[in-house]
Amino acid sequence: MVKMSENYVRTFEDWEKLMQLRIADEKKKKGLDLSSAFILLASTMGDLTIEKEYRLFRAMSGLIQKENTFK
């Protein structure tokens, strides 16, 4: 898996990619479905700005589209 650190996030698009990686990582490590991994990650993040909330949901939407494409 590609590792990305929050130190390298320079744009909201980068942050969105990081969230996709983190959701996928939680899903794989804990054997969760996609929505459970998303909820787990979101619950640990604390207060987010509106832009980061939006990007978190976009990250989840992108993962759902990818998952549905490969079915």
Has this prediction a pTM greater than 0.75?
no
Predicted local distance difference test score (pLDDT) of residue 5 = 55
Predicted local distance difference test score (pLDDT) of residue 48 = 75
Predicted local distance difference test score (pLDDT) of residue 7 = 59
Predicted local distance difference test score (pLDDT) of residue 3 = 52
Mean pLDDT per 10-residue interval, the chain, length 71 residues: 55 81 88 87 81 83 81 60
Do residues 21 and 62 touch, judged by C-beta distance below 8 A? no
